[in-house]
Structure 1
């Protein structure tokens, strides 16, 4: 194998290459290396953020959400004992108003759940009692707290006039204490959702006889198609996953990844042009050597293969170097978290990176095809 590349490598040896040829080779190699590094690092960053967003959404909303019940109690009993389901949390949701003591008001969504599931399902630390009194407790988002200028332990009033009968034109109002302020920093969760207990929900949502839905959390090792299992038993239910709910968000992230990939390929494209000019310059500078090979019986196909192997040496070695450095960067960042992010701006403290085998294979395949095209163009001359 090495003997096949001995002659092409001899044409590229620095001591036999004039100045312009050396410079072109180094520029071409630098272009391929930088292109590989940029592609690996950029795609891994986009993958990392996508994975973090996905985990944040699942931790806050669950893997599946079910609605459209006909016999809620019966359906809940069957669903929560299915294989692969670790939690099944019923909830009620309704738009309402929250009023601070300073008279600031916000309209948002009240979500009534069993507070025992707050930590294990919604990843919200919950203090059983902030104050030793009988005032009901609610949990609000960081953005809502900032808008209302309130903090943990403050008193607020909540009401949901859309779902209750009015007495003398005045909606029912509940005074509550803020027991926790959560901060997901993802989507509009911190700005739109307020958790209230089942007791408060039943008191405010008097027209709601059964929960609006059930949030489901799968076992970590579960690989079962639970959505289809549920629909097989209850085809009339509305079963949506986090992918369905946030389809547009993840489609936008996918398009962003494709756009980034195409844009950074321009670096490789420029390197290919450099490679073509480099190979053409070698052909011109080595005209005598090529003539000697022709006299010795080398065919045109043999000379084309020689140029092809030279392009593989230049592009392949530099791409391998760039790939190795890019993967090393991803490994170091993933393992040690060298690059930090400001937590007050981003929802993570460390720059996330994640690369898959499919990504590496695709990047190498595209670069290899571009090198081959550049080699064919050069050898045809």
Structure 2
């Protein structure tokens, strides 16, 4: 019986608080609408900006991993390690591995038919047919690279255009040991990451070794879970101490850190819009307090508890904030989905990728809504506490 009475009284109190809050909000419809729109715009821009940043970061990582393995095992050994290969074959975490050698070279296309010579520096990767399990390129590009002969080379697409060498052309190569070779361009590849497409070329491992017999033979490894590359690399290094692990996270550490910093900066800058809108809530509620001073004083004189007044204005702030958040989330999703269907085109030579994709992450929505709601509630509390401190005796007198 006592529990029923308590429950009924609580329900009655909440109904009265809701009635008062809605009554106040109806009297300033235009200002309330503008405040909700302000919050919605801030949330929409924040959600969209974070989604575009996520897509930009993921696109760069995906483009990088099309030609870079999850893990590189670097050594100074000049011959392949049968023991290491056996260990990699047995490990269930390993999807594929391939031995490789790397070198630097100057690649030149001779002047022909009145065309000037083309020349550029490149990183050479000498690979074996097993490289097909490492690369994440188009099938025809993987086939080209994994079937290279000793007198053939596959150029990055941007590198190919830079020196004017296309499939069927001959290029001259001068490696780091000043050894020369004439090679036929078998084809080109495109990872989508301009730094790779501009600076890499593939040759057969045997061709690299012929030009530089002292080139160390290292390994490129792909795993079932790329995020385990660092731990797996350390595990291999403990067993095979001649090999130094280079997980993709370390190879691209600068890029990943820059992207994370960029996301934080964008989040902070855009969140200022939400803060400005929250000040709008505080401004509206404080004006409401001044206008309703006598009403609040009468309610207090009639025995209305201070906490009711506090809860009434807090509820007003919550309604305005929640309205802005819901509208902002819907608009943010709509704009993000639009950019997903119609990606923003980018100049690849400036941004390393050709288009700006969108990646919506649930954790972004969670923290955007939590922080935005907390900000609007704080703004509401500023006005609510002022209303709750009104002394009815002074006002009525």
TM-score of the superposed pair, with normalisation by structure 1: 0.85
The question of whether the paired residues in 1 share the 8 Å contact of 2:97 and 2:130 is answered with: no
Q: Deviations 1:156-185 (Å, cap 9, x if unpaired)?
A: 11132x33xxxxxxx542211111122234
Q: Deviations 1:217-276 (Å, cap 9, x if unpaired)?
A: 123699685334323433553112111011111111111100000000111111011111
Residue matched to 1:6: 19
Residue matched to 1:322: 328
What number of residue pairs does the alignment pair up? 360
Instruction: Give the secondary structure class of the aligned counterpart of 1:184.
Output: coil
Does residue 1:178 correspond to 2:180, yes or no?
no
| Cα deviation, residue 35, structure 1 | 0.7
| Cα deviation, residue 295, structure 1 | 2.5
| Cα distance change of structure 1 residues 351 and 129 upon mapping to structure 2, 3 Å threshold | closer
| Cα distance change of structure 1 residues 193 and 49 upon mapping to structure 2, 3 Å threshold | same
| Cα deviation, residue 299, structure 1 | 2.5
Does residue 1:283 correspond to 2:296, yes or no?
no
Does residue 1:106 correspond to 2:120, yes or no?
yes
Residue matched to 2:202: 195
Q: Distance in 1 between matches of 2:238 and 2:19?
A: 64
| Cα distance change of structure 1 residues 198 and 256 upon mapping to structure 2, 3 Å threshold | same
Q: 1:240 aligns with which of 242, 246, 249?
A: 246
Q: 1:311 aligns with which of 310, 314, 317?
A: 317
**Structure 1, 121-130 or 230-239: larger mean CA deviation:** 121-130
**Structure 1, 282-291 or 221-230: larger mean CA deviation:** 221-230
| Cα distance change of structure 1 residues 76 and 355 upon mapping to structure 2, 3 Å threshold | same
The question of whether the paired residues in 2 share the 8 Å contact of 1:152 and 1:180 is answered with: yes
Residue matched to 2:54: 47
Q: Distance in 2 between matches of 1:127 and 1:85?
A: 19
Q: Distance in 1 between matches of 2:337 and 2:130?
A: 39
Instruction: Give the secondary structure class of the aligned counterpart of 1:243.
Output: helix
Residue matched to 1:166: none
Residue matched to 2:222: 217
| Cα deviation, residue 324, structure 1 | 2.3
Q: Distance in 1 between matches of 2:352 and 2:120?
A: 24
The question of whether the paired residues in 1 share the 8 Å contact of 2:128 and 2:205 is answered with: yes
Q: 1:362 aligns with which of 359, 364, 367?
A: 367
| Cα distance change of structure 1 residues 150 and 111 upon mapping to structure 2, 3 Å threshold | same
Does residue 1:79 correspond to 2:88, yes or no?
yes
The question of whether the paired residues in 2 share the 8 Å contact of 1:9 and 1:313 is answered with: no
Q: Distance in 1 between matches of 2:89 and 2:193?
A: 28
Residue matched to 2:7: none
Q: 1:151 aligns with which of 149, 160, 166?
A: 166
Q: Distance in 1 between matches of 2:49 and 2:270?
A: 9
**Structure 1, 344-353 or 141-150: larger mean CA deviation:** 344-353
The question of whether the paired residues in 1 share the 8 Å contact of 2:317 and 2:380 is answered with: yes
Q: How does 1:242-257 map to 2 (within 5 A)?
A: 242-257=248-263
The question of whether the paired residues in 2 share the 8 Å contact of 1:91 and 1:111 is answered with: yes
The question of whether the paired residues in 1 share the 8 Å contact of 2:336 and 2:358 is answered with: yes
The question of whether the paired residues in 2 share the 8 Å contact of 1:92 and 1:201 is answered with: yes
The question of whether the paired residues in 1 share the 8 Å contact of 2:135 and 2:142 is answered with: no
Q: Deviations 1:206-227 (Å, cap 9, x if unpaired)?
A: 223x41x211112369968533
| Cα deviation, residue 117, structure 1 | 2.5
| Cα distance change of structure 1 residues 23 and 157 upon mapping to structure 2, 3 Å threshold | same
Which structure 2 residue ranges, 5 or more long, are not aligned?
Answer: 1-10, 112-116, 387-397
| Cα distance change of structure 1 residues 380 and 68 upon mapping to structure 2, 3 Å threshold | same
Please provide the CA RMSD for this pair.
2.8
Residue matched to 1:168: none
| Cα deviation, residue 374, structure 1 | 0.7
Does residue 1:272 correspond to 2:281, yes or no?
no
Instruction: Give the secondary structure class of the aligned counterpart of 1:60.
Output: coil
The question of whether the paired residues in 1 share the 8 Å contact of 2:173 and 2:180 is answered with: yes
Instruction: Give the secondary structure class of the aligned counterpart of 1:188.
Output: helix
Q: Deviations 1:89-147 (Å, cap 9, x if unpaired)?
A: 111111122121224332222110014534862525349789xxx88210111222222
Q: Distance in 2 between matches of 1:135 and 1:199?
A: 7
The question of whether the paired residues in 1 share the 8 Å contact of 2:344 and 2:357 is answered with: no
Residue matched to 2:37: 30
Structure with the larger helix share: 2
| Cα distance change of structure 1 residues 46 and 221 upon mapping to structure 2, 3 Å threshold | closer
